[in-house]
Amino acid sequence: MAMDRLEGRVALITGAGSGIGRESALRMASEGAAVMCADINPEGAQTTAAQIAEHGGRSATMELDVTSEAAVQDALAQTVSVLGGLDVLMNNAGIGGAYSWDQTISVNLTGVYYGTFHGAALLAERGGGAIINTASIAGLAGLLTGQLRDEPLQEGAGAYVAAKHGVVGITRQFAVTYGARGVRVNAVCPGYIHTPMTAQISDIEGGEAFIASLHPMGRMGEPQEIAAAAAFLASDDASFVNGVALPVDGGYTAR
């Protein structure tokens, strides 16, 4: 079933060089959007763009470190100049749980703040649009991953959960602030998804089975399942959806 919900739209996706960002870029392009694939890893972004081209879609790539406010502003401006507009912004770039407090906050929270702050202003100026922030189940509750290892807490423990709760807060605040100006701001909250970020789970004995068991559906998710939710939130099918933190987690947060 081909859908053209995003025909004529332009989307900027951060962290589009891997995992959830890549699949969201492919999905939005398949629904008709021209996609700027931005990533700190330019080769990853180029691979995504090549896959979009294989399917007949339109895209461009750029190297972007979301921890630089000027670079985020430049990415928004470049999307408009290279692809001719901006209608959708997915602040998706992120790092996993193994980093310091400062690194985690800087990519996963400050990076999303720069995108939402400057992106909402630009979208409003252009007449409206949709922002999708990739939060997490860790934006809604604490994580049980400590049960996987019997080690002392590392520096940065809890930073991922704090950052993702912050992303949900930013999402709600900007949804309220910009709702009247035609900019919808929502978050998607994935459960554990098979991407390079979670690849090490299966290196731990029983890791995948334990993580799967935390989801009432008894499995981890696939990045395409998050991309489907992101495309919905980006589209006019979500025209009255604003300020939600949508779990896409097989029921993880339902219990």
Segment 173 to 212, residues that bind ligand NAD, using CB under 6 A: 190, 192-193, 195-198
Residue bearing tokens 């400057």: 118
Q: How far is residue 73's CA from residue 163's CA, in Å, rounded to a whole number?
A: 21
Q: Which of 64, 159, 161, 234 binds ligand NAD (CB under 6 A)?
A: 64
Judged by CB under 6 A, the residue of 20, 120, 161, 230 near ligand NAD is 20
CB of 252 closer than 8 Å to CB of 137? yes
Span of 3-11, 39-47, 50-58, 113-121 interacting with ligand NAD by CB under 6 A: 39-47
Packed helices 111-125 and 159-178: angle between N→C axes, nearest 10 degrees: 10
Neighbours of 2 (CB within 10 A): 6
Least Å distance between CB 195 and ligand NAD?
3
Applying CB under 6 A, the span of 34-42, 77-85, 140-148, 172-180 interacting with ligand NAD comes to: 34-42
Q: What are phi and psi of 3, to 5 degrees?
A: -120, 145
Question: Active-site residue 160, yes or no?
Answer: yes
Kindly name the residue from 113, 114, 160, 178 that is annotated as catalytic: 160
**b/e for 88-122, b at 16 or more Cβ within 10 A?**
bbbbbbbbebebeeeebbbbbbbbbbbbbebbbbb
Q: Does 107 bind ligand NAD (CB under 6 A)?
A: yes
Residues that bind ligand NAD (CB under 6 A): 14-15, 17-21, 39-41, 44, 64-67, 92-95, 107, 111, 134, 136, 190, 192-193, 195-198
Q: Which residues are catalytic, by number?
A: 160
